[in-house]
């Protein structure tokens, strides 16, 4: 899973200098849990930010129809860089059983090894949630003093920075890979302490949840080690040495 996203951009008359200091100063969680009467399951947050670097902004940050080369292009990049901000919407991504990361049977990497193949499709509810949040983001910018606003349509994701799922946590080895101790069901001394244990993506930024789970896993590993239970499956005893 990734996190469903949408972005509403705005250009303001006066400099904002959003590239300085904290990237995110406010997060709106008014829509963290949406009413099921809307016809879909989901929710998420929105924050106002500007976290682009100059080169990335020059390539992708100008409004539609802006020149892509020459003196006017340079002028707009210089003017808009300090006057642009956007509402970034981050929503849930529901688990889809067909989504996976596997080894490609045909494509090889530079070393002749099978390349990683990502199979991914957004759940229909994720797209509806992203569209709902994008509509609210545009309403927020309508109420702002922005002199121009624009947004891209919500589409199936082809890129993501929050890599979550594929090794879900659970009690049943048939439907999960690790148990509540973050320990693999079938490999006694393997612990997974990253975002792969998520059963859904949550409502947005997952980093602090991943950190909390990693600290929790460390505590569990210490307790197991003190009881001499590392390297054995639950219920098994470590073989004695003669």
pLDDT score of 241: 47
With residue 134 as reference, give the H or E element that holds it: helix 124-142
Q: Give 5's contacts (C-beta < 8 A, 6+ positions apart).
A: 88, 89, 90, 91, 130, 157
Pick the closest to residue 144 from 90, 91, 84, 89 (CA basis): 84
Q: Which two tokens stand for residue 138?
A: 């545009």
pLDDT at 46: 93
| H/E element, 116 | strand 114-119
Query: Does residue 185 have an active-site annotation?
Result: no
Residues 6+ away with beta carbon under 8 Å from 3: 44, 90, 91, 92, 93, 160, 162, 164, 201, 202, 204, 205, 206
CA distances to 34, 54, 168 from 149, rounded to whole Å, are 25, 20, 40
Q: What is the pTM of this model?
A: 0.84
Give the burial class of 107: count Cβ atoms within 10 A of its Cβ; 0-12 exposed, 13-18 middle, 19 or more buried: exposed
Nearest C-alpha neighbor of 102 from the set 86, 111, 83, 115:
115
pLDDT tens, position by position, for the chain (242 residues)?
Answer: 998 999 999 999 999 887 777 776 678 899 999 999 999 988 999 998 898 889 999 999 999 999 999 999 999 999 999 999 999 999 989 999 899 889 999 999 999 999 999 999 999 999 999 999 999 999 999 999 999 999 999 999 988 888 899 899 999 999 999 999 999 999 888 999 999 999 988 887 888 999 999 999 999 999 989 998 887 655 555 544 44
Q: Check 14, 29, 123, 162 and give the catalytic one.
A: 162
> Taking the chain, what is the end-to-end CA distance rounded to the nearest angstrom?
49
DSSP 36: G
Q: How far is Cα 155 from Cα 83, in angstroms, rounded to an integer?
A: 27
């Amino acid at each position: 899973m990734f996190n469903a996203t949408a972005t509403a951009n705005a250009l303001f008359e006066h400099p904002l200098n959003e590239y300085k200091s904290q990237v995110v100063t406010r997060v709106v969680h008014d829509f963290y849990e949406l009413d099921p009467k809307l016809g879909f399951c989901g929710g998420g947050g929105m924050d106002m930010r500007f976290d682009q670097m100059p080169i990335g902004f020059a390539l992708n940050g100008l409004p539609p129809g802006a020149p892509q080369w020459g003196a006017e292009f340079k002028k707009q990049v210089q003017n808009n860089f300090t006057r642009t901000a956007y509402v970034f919407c981050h929503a849930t991504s529901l688990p889809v059983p067909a989504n996976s990361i596997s080894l490609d049977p045909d494509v090889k990497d530079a070393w002749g090894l099978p390349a990683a193949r990502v199979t991914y499709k957004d759940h229909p509810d994720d797209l509806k949630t992203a569209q709902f949040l994008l509509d609210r983001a545009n309403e927020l910018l309508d109420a702002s003093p922005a002199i121009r606003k624009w947004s891209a349509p919500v589409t199936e994701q082809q890129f993501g920075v929050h890599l979550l799922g594929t090794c879900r946590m659970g009690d049943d080895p048939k439907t999960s890979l690790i148990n509540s101790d973050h320990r693999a069901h079938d490999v006694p001394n393997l612990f997974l302490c990253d975002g792969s244990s998520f059963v859904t993506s949550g409502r947005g930024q997952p980093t602090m949840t991943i950190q909390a789970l990693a600290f929790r896993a460390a505590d569990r590993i210490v307790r197991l080690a003190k009881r001499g239970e590392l390297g054995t499956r639950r219920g098994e005893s470590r073989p004695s040495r003669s």
